[in-house]
Amino acid sequence: MILIVGCGYLGETLADDLHGRGHQVLGVTHSAESAGRLSETKPWRAIACDISDGAAVSKLGNEPVKTVIHCASSSRGGPDAYRRVFLEGLNHLRETFPSAHLLFTSSTSVYTQVDGSLVDEDTPCQPQRETGRILQEAEQFVLAQNGTVARLAGIYGPERSVVLKNLLLKEAKIEGNDGQGRLLNQIHRDDAVSAIRLLVEDRVSGVFNVVDSTAQTQRELYTLLAAKFNAPMPPVAEPNHERKRPYTHKAVSNNKLRALGWRPEYPGYMDAIDRDPLLASSILQQCLDASGSIPRAPNIVVIGLMGCGKSTVGRLVAQKIGFQVVDTDHLVSDTAHQSIPAIFQREGEVGFRKRETAALLSLLGKRGHVIATGGGIVTQPHNLPLLKHLGYVVWLNAEPSTLAKRTSSSNDRPLLQNEDPEAKLRALLDVRGPLYRKLADLRIRTDDLSPQETAYGIAESARLHFCT
């Protein structure tokens, strides 16, 4: 059994992963509320226990625990919280499970270098703050037990990315290093999980940095992100020494972990922006929730049911205003080298939807395009913030009878290959209508309009939108 102490952002995913790979997992949380929520929703067990309370931990002693993973956080506390959660917690876990393999998730913040140097596990750490010294003491305790210390870089992933969120909310700063900003060392949550899995499954002891392969300065990363998200570059600022974590500037090496065969799925942050279907989308949504606005790219996004004229009208709009046209259905079939009916047949609608989201992600950073989308793109909640960000959103609507007429001559739409396409279109409109409506900046009823007339309307209102 693997005991996972701390089921927060990392611990919960780690528990899911290890359980999914056949390990028996017991999750420990600090609050009874979290344990209750996890017990209700997860296929693995979760219980509440305050690990700073030795008697409480000893009650877990009859569980057949072979591995203990300590990934509880100090909940932003100061030295006292650090001592309780890390030092006392580890001591109590060791007393209760004397022969278990102990893995402790520490932090690359133990490297306090400010000179941009490359650091590895042999580089001495001399933490100046008390919290840093406590972390180091906890590491030494674990190493003395022949355990494993995983020094994690800044964890990001779906719902959590300080770098992107701060950029989009215009709260980011480029700190120090002659205007280049400090080096950022990050790790995607899923890669942290795969690293910890490897360390516990192979029972490797010692210290390992868990960091991706691309240390970048703030300027380097923000330059790429600003272009991708049509956002302004953050201003330069003096390093903030009031932060909970002291200012550091160093490149953390992952060579030791890679020598064990570990390879990150996302070697750099931009790889995750390009390929993680939830990263950009969830952070855009958080920014929308927090501030009501996000940067919008200078494109026109056309949405609506099959047959509403997205591609035809899209082409005409593009001609009128000198934009290029791109069609998500074409992107999907081009990258898959298969027609859409073939993808539906081989991979089901689920496979098609994954490819459609990937197509949408590939459009981040584009400008001056009319983006025609597949009618079902709004059915995936994570596509919605992406669509909103990608441009001025236009919904072409029409009566199901009109749509049925317009689509009757082609048989390349798997969802309409049935007895009564009009009824299917009506049912789809019932479900998707509210989604189109919510997303759209402009709504046009096209039943009685020619494609030219519709395109004229779109071009004129887009011009206005881009001017303001």
Contact residues toward ligand S3P (CB under 6 A) are 306, 310, 329, 340, 374-376, 413-415
Q: Which residues pair with 156 in a beta bridge?
A: 188
Nearest CB to ligand S3P, comparing residues 187 and 308: 308
Nearest CB to ligand S3P, comparing residues 427 and 464: 427
Nearest CB to ligand S3P, comparing residues 136 and 379: 379
Nearest CB to ligand S3P, comparing residues 210 and 331: 331
Select from 243, 246, 255 the least CA-distant residue to 208. 255
Q: How many CA atoms lie within 13 A of 60 on its CB side?
A: 30
CA angle, 181 as apex, 178 and 185 as ends, to 5°?
A: 140
For the record, the structure tokens of 14 come out as 């780690």
Do 4 and 27 touch, CB atoms closer than 8 A?
yes
Minimum distance of ligand S3P from residue 446's CB (angstroms): 13
For the record, the structure tokens of 367 come out as 């400008």
Minimum distance of ligand S3P from residue 144's CB (angstroms): 59
Minimum distance of ligand S3P from residue 455's CB (angstroms): 16
Do 69 and 4 touch, CB atoms closer than 8 A?
yes
Minimum distance of ligand S3P from residue 334's CB (angstroms): 13
Minimum distance of ligand S3P from residue 310's CB (angstroms): 6
Element (H, E) at 148: strand 148-152
Distance, CA of 19 to CA of 69 (rounded, Å):
14
Minimum distance of ligand S3P from residue 415's CB (angstroms): 5
Minimum distance of ligand S3P from residue 340's CB (angstroms): 5
Nearest CB to ligand S3P, comparing residues 342 and 464: 342
Strands (E) in 293-348, as ranges, are 300-303, 324-327
Plot region of 203 (φ>0 → left; ψ -120 to 50 → alpha; else → beta): left
Nearest CB to ligand S3P, comparing residues 160 and 406: 406
Nearest CB to ligand S3P, comparing residues 251 and 435: 435
Q: Is the dihedral of CA 232, 234, 235, 236 positive or negative?
A: negative
Cβ burial of 418 (10 Å; 0-12, 13-18, 19+) is: exposed
For the record, the structure tokens of 121 come out as 């596990």
